[in-house]
Amino acid sequence: MKRAIAIVICTLLTACSTETTPRNTGVYMLLDTSGTYNEELIKAEQITRFTLSRLDASDSFAVARIDTGSFSERDIIAKASFDDRPSAVNRQKRLFAEQVSDFVENAKPAPYTDITGGLLQAVEFLNEKGTGTKTILIFSDLKEDLEQGYVRDIEVPLDGFEVIALNVTKLRSDNIDPREYLGRLEEWQGRVERTGGSWRVINDLDGLEGLL
């Protein structure tokens, strides 16, 4: 009997003390606000809401804009690490959706597009949160346009990250020479996969079921 009690206690203690890997999800969404792509932001709001509906307690979510210099906390529009309690999670989600909505209504087009800086910021944010799965959503045409003086030819450490490009629209020049568009996609895929990340492109926004 004593032995049985000891075994049960040891099992419980082991179960309680074992360091389990985190099972929560971290999502960082980058919104391209440059030039004409600014008009696409209304779609980004829908994606944000969809993502919010998929996230649960203790998950983390942040939405940031891509502008001239995106490697900055100031570019984060809304961020939240959801509470443990379901009621608090609902409140946080409503507030988050409101913040994104406000941003979309008042967004101004940015002159330059610093996607790499945004990616670096996303990696930093998600690593800091230490979530189990790390997903970066890039809502952009993936055409990077840096201001003079900005250095971005660096490797972004994306090991363990899933990068999903959303609504990668074709530019006028892409229509003239599709190789440009394909080359752009290929280049980003190469950059992500070279550093250990996985890459996906979703252009059909009606089929977001497999997003998260």
Partner 1 sequence: MSFMLGITPWPVASALLWIILITAALYLIRSTAHKTIQAAAQGLHRSFRMASKAVSRSETNLAARNRDVLLAAGREAKERIIEREFDRINETVRKDLANYSGLHRSLSESIGRIEKDHQEAVDVPPDPPGWVKAVKAVADMDARDGRAHIGSILGDIHKSLIKAHKEAMAAYHDASAKRHKLLRQMRPDWRKIQQTLGAVGKNVDSLLSRSVTIDRHMQEYEDIVRGQDRAMSVLSSSSLVNFFVSAFVLCIAIGGATINFSLIARPMAEMVGGTSLIGDFRTADIAALVIILVEISMGLFLMESLRITRLFPVIGALPDKTRVRMIYITFTILFLLATVEAGLAYMREVLLQDELATSALLRGDAAAAVTATGEFMWITTAAQMGMGFILPFALVFVAIPLETFVHSLRTVLGLIAISFLRVVALSLRVLANVFLYLGVLLKQIYDLPLFVPLWIEERLSVGARLAGDQNLKGARP
Residues that bind partner 1 (CB under 8 A): 15-16, 20, 23-24, 46, 49-50, 52-53, 56-58, 84-87, 89-90, 93-94, 97
In the bound complex, what is the minimum distance in angstroms from residue 70's beta carbon to partner 1? 26
Which of 11, 175 has the CB closer to partner 1? 11
Residue 150 burial (CB count, 10 A): 14
Least distance (Å) between residue 49 CB and partner 1: 4
Nearest C-alpha neighbor of 139 from the set 50, 23, 24, 25 = 50
Count the residues in the chain: 212
88 vs 182, which CB is nearer to partner 1?
A: 88
- Shortest separation between residue 8's beta carbon and partner 1, angstroms: 13
Residue 154 · residue 116 · CB < 8 Å:
yes
Nearer residue to partner 1 within complex by CB, 16 or 176: 16
In the bound complex, what is the minimum distance in angstroms from residue 48's beta carbon to partner 1? 9
Rounded CA-CA distance 117/25 in Å is 22
Provide the minimum distance between the beta carbon of 66 and partner 1 in the complex, in angstroms, as a whole number: 24
Residues 165/202, Cβ–Cβ less than 8 Å: yes
Coil, helix or strand for 5? helix
Output the 3-class SS for 42-57: HHHHHHHHHHHHHCCC
Question: In whole angstroms, how close is the CB of 155 to partner 1 at the nearest point?
Answer: 34
CA nearest neighbour of 168 among 192, 135, 134, 144: 144
Q: Which is nearer to partner 1, 84 or 206 (CB)?
A: 84
Amino acid at 174: D
Structure tokens at 88: 């608090």
Tokens of residue 204, six digits: 């059909």
Cβ atoms < 10 Å from Cβ of 135:
22
Instruction: Using the minimum distance from each CB to partner 1, give the nearer residue, 37 or 82.
Output: 82
Residue closer to partner 1 (CB basis): 14 or 106? 14
